Amino acid sequence: MFTTSHFHPMIVHFPVALIMIGFLAELVSLFFKKEACLSFAGFWLLIIGALAAIAAYLTGEFFTSDMTGAAGIVKETHEIFAKITMWTMIANALFRIYLKYAGKEQGAMKWLAFGVYAVSAIAVSITGFYGGSLVYNYMMPL
């Protein structure tokens, strides 16, 4: 039987994949400047990853059950890093859109955008670790 509690597990893998692959594309494009397609791909993966992070956060907020005890503490940590991921992705997506339309993508500000992307990649990794811990260590369906 299908319930709304399935929404979060169905959605949550998209931001993980999009953010990590987008960050990898940006990382490679910084060192191989002739590969403009990687930066272009990283840009679009950032935008789509930000939207997916919003969807994952909202499905987690509205369609998962409350937890108590040790699982509740792990869920709180999971939620904190999910918020960090979502907000850094939104901020970076807006910043990269501004840089693209202002024609400043090749300036020093690209390093700031890359740094925020790195924070997002680390945050989504930590979020996934705690989410996986909830599912596998505490047998809690998200």
Please, what is the average pLDDT of the chain?
A: 91
The answer to whether residue 1 scores a pLDDT higher than 70 is no
Q: What per-residue confidence (pLDDT) applies to 34?
A: 72
pLDDT tens for 35-75 read: 778 989 999 999 999 999 999 999 999 988 888 899 999 99
Q: If you write DSSP's letter for every residue of the chain in order, what string do you get?
A: ---GGGHHHHHTHHHHHHHHHHHHHHHHHHH-TT-HHHHHHHHHHHHHHHHHHHHHHHHHHHHS----HHHHHHHHHHHHHHHHHHHHHHHHHHHHHHHHHHT-TTSTHHHHHHHHHHHHHHHHHHHHHHHHHHHHHS----
